[in-house]
Structure 1
């Protein structure tokens, strides 16, 4: 199930609580981002091992920027990031965000 986060405080709670999770940076106005969001949701609905979170860039710009700065990942939207042991270990953007790529990333970083 997708869970929306908006603030840095919420993100920090997730980072402390979850050993492994995905975060999707999603643009509410971009058709490519909509396609990525649909793939992300399909991935999320088909598994329960890796928690899935998302932020809407237009609603959570400070958080989106903080994630990019803190983990030294160039900001893109849409962008999926896999976190493991409080580190960003994988990311993909635009058309690279597919159910298959998310499944592969989640199983490759146990």
Structure 2
């Protein structure tokens, strides 16, 4: 699993621009609170089960350090802030979001029509 750091508005703009590429299924954003046990559990589950190639890049956002950017993401994609939270972005829009124990690799594969 190759985490890409999401730390600036410029990073977010690039992520949105790249979401229009035919070379990716979508782009994932994982919003993580380093102070939350549930968030740590969700991150561990992702690491253990993530078997996507570079066609589904995943960005990591530390909510404690970059709360303003998290709020910008909520506003940009019209998705209420949660932690932990996973969003899938395609063509500049959020096509899926899940939080807490609702974050599921199988749901992502089904949405993207990939084999489990």
TM-score range, shorter chain: 0.7 to 0.9
Q: Normalising by structure 2, report the TM-score.
A: 0.83
Unaligned runs of 5+ in 2: 21-25
Quote the Cα distance in structure 2 between the aligned partners of 1:39 and 1:106.
19
The C-alpha deviation readout for 1:19-47, integer Å capped at 9, x for no partner, is: 32000110001110011112222344x11
Q: CA RMSD in A?
A: 1.6
Count of aligned pairs between the two proteins? 107
Q: Which runs of 5+ in 1 are unaligned?
A: none
Local SS of the residue matching 2:79: coil
CA 1:94 to 1:103, structure 2 compared with 1: closer, same or farther past 3 Å?
Answer: same
TM-score (normalizing by structure 1): 0.87
CA radius of gyration, larger in? 2
